[in-house]
Amino acid sequence: MNVHDLRTPALVVDVDALDANIDTMARARPGGALRPHVKAFKSTEMARHVADRGGHVAFCCATLREVEGMASAGLGDDLLLANETLDADRLRRLVDRGDAAVTVAVDSPETVEVAAAAGVDVLVDVDVGLPRCGCRPEEAGQLAELARSRGLHVRGVMGYEGHAVGNPDRAARAGMVSTSMDLLRQAHRDVGGDIVSAGGTGTYDLHDLATEVQAGSYLLMDTHYARLALPFAQALRLTVTVISTSPTKGWGVVDCGLKSLGMDHGNPTIPGWSVFFCSDEHTTFVPREGGDGRLPAVGDRLPVVPAHVDPTVAYHELLHLVRGDEVIDVWPVDLRGW
């Protein structure tokens, strides 16, 4: 199959760029020093490829759906649910299947009790500056004591400096990571355990405390991370079709929009064109300043690069692996949904 034969909008992955990204990260953070985050690509076939090529066998998940799917695919050697859950029944059923080693994040007595009901290992999730989940650093030791009193194995601590990972100023980003890791270091002294889990694609090379980094977007990349001049290539794009033009008014329209693109980091990019705006099923574009002003023809194919890869992938059912214009494989996005 040729990429031009695909129904659009279609997610397309440059396999050579993907493999280069895997190799680059594996050199920087080999084996267990990286816990790839499944939420960024939501495909067990891609996870298997990362494990085979990159040598990473422990994975990070954002949802129980992802944990269940990874276990069913035989990728359950060491799965971290890097998120709090109160669904004790579903977690218990997952553990009872016996096909995965599961660890969950806890940040409160309530989430500790859910973990105890399921009998899973835990990491104490610590607030290191991102206003999301995590206990205060000074509470971490007490939570660990509670977990141990309930018979749980406390593997260590986790803290995500998500407020820092996208800062385009590397020096500022490094300073924010240092401040966050000081908080996590304080918590780890009180909690103990072998694991200090932190970080993401934007800070993968700024950690000396973390024993593992939870990066995932590095595999496919997006325009938001591209601002950081990281050593990872843009591997993912959408192939779309020009479905309408207005030559007299100077714009064109392609068949992808809010329902096929993660938009929380801004508009996508259409190389060679300027994006005017996005609506449900459309993106309107105009010629870039300095160009000849000529629009493509109705029916032409264009590439679209998302600003945020994780939610973009979650909108789609298939990843089309390509080399040049040849589609060499198709991987289901089988971990989408909850």
pTM reported for the whole predicted model: 0.96
Higher pLDDT, residue 294 or 244: 244
> What is the structure's pLDDT at 168?
96
What fold does the segment set 15-219 form as a domain?
TIM Barrel (3.20.20)
pLDDT at 292: 76
Same fold, 3-9+233-332 and 15-219: no
What's the pLDDT tens digit per position in 197-235?
Answer: 999 999 999 999 999 999 999 999 999 999 999 999 999
Yes or no: say if 224 and 239 are a contact pair by the CB < 8 Å rule.
Answer: no
pLDDT at residue 290, as a whole number: 72
pLDDT at 291: 72
> For residues 49 and 123, what is the distance between their CA atoms, to the nearest angstrom?
27
- pLDDT digits 0-9 by tens, 92-134: 999 999 999 999 999 999 999 999 999 999 999 999 999 999 9
Could you give phi then psi for residue 68, rounded to 5 degrees? -60, -45
Looking at the predicted structure, is the pLDDT value of residue 333 above 90?
A: yes
Low-confidence winner among 26-40, 44-58, 167-181, 284-298 (lowest mean pLDDT): 284-298
**Sign of the dihedral through C-alpha 48, 53, 57, 60:** negative
The secondary structure element, H or E, covering residue 67 is helix 64-72
- Across the chain, mean pLDDT equals 97
CATH architecture assigned to 3-9+233-332: Beta Barrel (2.40)
Residue 338 confidence (pLDDT): 84
Mean pLDDT (whole number) for 40-65: 98
Each domain of the chain, given as residue ranges in start order, spans: 3-9+233-332, 15-219
Contact, 157 vs 191, CB < 8 A? yes
**Stated length of the chain:** 338
* Per-residue tokens: 42: 């939501």
Q: Give the CB-side neighbour count of residue 104, counting CA atoms within 13 A.
A: 31
Q: Is 261 exposed, middle or buried (0-12, 13-18, 19+ CB in 10 A)?
A: buried
pLDDT band at 289 (very low <50, low <70, confident <90, very high): confident
Is 205 in contact with 28 (CB distance < 8 Å)? yes
- Give the whole-number percent of the chain exceeding pLDDT 90: 96
